[in-house]
Amino acid sequence: MTTTDWDAAADSFDDEPDHGLHDPVVRGAWARRMETWLPTARSTVLDLGCGTGSLSLLVAGQGHRVTAVDRSPRMAEHARTKLAGTGAEVLVGDAALPPVGSQRFDVILARHTVWLLPDPAAALRHWFSLLRPGGRLLLIEGVWNGTGLSAARLTALLHAHTERVHHEPLSGDPLLWGKEVDDERYALVARAEPPRRHREIVDVHLVLRRGPDVLLARRAGTGYADGLLHAPSGHVEDGEDVRAAVIRETAEEIGVELDPDELRVALVMQHRGPGGNPRTGWFFEADLDPARPPRNAEPDKCSELAWYPLDALPDDMVAYCRAALDGYRAGQRFLVHWHEDSDTVAYAPRAPRRAVPLPVASAATGGLHHVELWVPDLAEAGAEWGWLLGRLGHLPYQRWSHGRSWRRGDSYVVVEQSPDGTGGAHDRLRPGLNHLAFHVRDRDTLDTLVADAPGHGWRLLFPDRHPHAGGRGHYAAYLENTAGYEVELVAP
């Protein structure tokens, strides 16, 4: 059948209500639009709410195989007559649940139909089930005098099924309507592809230790956080595991070739920068080998490398790196660090804390929960214990009128000046608490603590046998504070 034949068939229904498609100019405008919306290859098309079949006739005229559905037997009969000889099938049925059985289609077309349905969301869900993978849902809708369905509302309904929705405004083309219009009229072409699964970039970071110090690099020329300090870091590439990635990035940035056995997982943190997307960072710990000193291997991205005390980090750092190192020092293993859009990339000391430690599985039965020490002078104890516990990675936890506490991981230490106390001083040689003992990660860190302790109320016990007062092969320091409490610090 020629184009003239199609026009003649359509003209035979000029007296029917047909959305203006009886006009040859309007019909031609719609035909041109349909060519851009429909596949170029011959396809199967389901026309829902087909009316008298004028759009179905245009679609069939472009070489597609049409199944048309309308709930009105009279309209369906008109459509059969109009589509006679095209090979189209016309069915009577509800557009929301078309009577097509298990058939699948390349295109589903609905013009001025969705807004009339009692449950558009359910209808769209069913229509997507009738499309072949990669198929198209072509919806022509609008809002007339406050009645209808807006493009924003319909797009939102479609996003439950696909992210590929093309919006084409139609109000500005008077040829489609036979006149100028100023209301909202549009077409949406949605592809039958499921929403993409959430994906995140994976970062890797190196916490390189030199005793109590960590290595930081100052960013430069990257376009992001330039001028701020950050641990050596990068992104995991396709096909890489996180350990291989941090080994590669370490070699590229600071020229140190690490062996996998030198790496220990320090912390995992999901973080979101201001206005950005979430990403997950793996922080690995390794010790400095003096035979392999780090160097600035990427001077175009880094202006300097420097060592900084982990317990006295500088403020001019990338905020999420600072949050991760603070959490690492406190013994946290899993953190969520979420910026507000108004936050700065730089660490802000007075800004609200954005890092939230995630609880891990409950500590095994019998694990230490907390230790509580009753002290004669809370202010004195707060200063002395606060310094030592802070240097050991504990963070301030609780504060009340008679006490303070510091937490690391699942355990915490309390000092309290209770009004119920009956003694005036602590005697570690009497029955009761003799001393507390803490791990220290290495000998350099222990030696630094011993050197700094006198300035914070702690004195070294057994100096004639230090650092082996506990016996040969036991590298430790024994300290006593003003109130007579003893602490043992043990290094590997």
pLDDT at 144: 87
Q: Is 232 helix (H, G, I), strand (E, B) or coil?
A: coil
pLDDT at 299: 95
Closest by CA to 109, choosing from 75, 58, 40, is 58
Residue 405 has pLDDT above 80, yes or no: yes
Decide the pairing of beta strands 334-338 and 476-481. Answer: unpaired
State the Cα–Cα distance between residues 301 and 313, nearest whole angstrom. Answer: 22
Q: Domain 201-357 class? A: alpha beta
108-119 average pLDDT score: 95
What is the DSSP-derived secondary structure letter of residue 195? P
For the whole model, what pTM was predicted?
0.51
Q: What single letter denotes the amino acid at residue 406?
A: W
Cβ–Cβ < 8 Å for 234, 222:
no
- What's the pLDDT tens digit per position in 314-330? 999 999 999 999 999 88
Q: Which CATH number fits domain 3-191: 2.40.50.140, 1.10.10.10, 3.10.20.30, 3.40.50.150?
A: 3.40.50.150
State the Cα–Cα distance between residues 382 and 430, nearest whole angstrom. Answer: 23
- What's the pLDDT tens digit per position in 49-70? 999 999 999 999 999 999 999 9
Name the CATH superfamily, with its identifier, for domain 370-490.
2,3-Dihydroxybiphenyl 1,2-Dioxygenase, domain 1 (3.10.180.10)
**Percent helix, percent strand, percent coil in the chain, to nearest 5:** 25, 30, 45
What is the DSSP-derived secondary structure letter of residue 311? G
- What's the pLDDT tens digit per position in 299-310? 999 999 999 999
State the Cα–Cα distance between residues 69 and 97, nearest whole angstrom. Answer: 10
Which segments of the chain belong to CATH 3.10.180.10?
A: 370-490
Q: Let me know how long the chain is.
A: 492
Query: 403 pLDDT band (50/70/90 cuts)?
Result: very high
Residue 13 has pLDDT above 70, yes or no: no
Cβ neighbours of residue 384 under 8 Å, at least 6 residues apart? Answer: 456, 457, 458, 481, 482, 483
106: left (phi over 0), alpha (psi -120 to 50) or beta: alpha
Which segments of the chain belong to CATH 3.40.50.150?
A: 3-191
pLDDT over 90 percentage in the chain: 73
State the Cα–Cα distance between residues 121 and 118, nearest whole angstrom. Answer: 9
- What's the pLDDT tens digit per position in 421-455? 888 789 999 899 999 999 998 898 899 999 999 99
Q: How far is CA 237 from CA 205, 248, 266, 282, 357, in A?
A: 14, 10, 21, 14, 27
383-391 average pLDDT score: 94
272-293 average pLDDT score: 92
Q: How far is CA 243 from CA 78, 260, 279, 280, 288, in A?
A: 69, 7, 17, 14, 17
Bridge partners (DSSP) of residue 90 are 68
Which segments of the chain belong to CATH 3.90.79.10?
A: 201-357
Q: What single letter denotes the amino acid at residue 371?
A: V
- What's the pLDDT tens digit per position in 208-241? 999 889 999 999 988 889 999 999 999 999 899 9
Q: What single letter denotes the amino acid at residue 202?
A: V
Cβ–Cβ < 8 Å for 71, 93:
yes
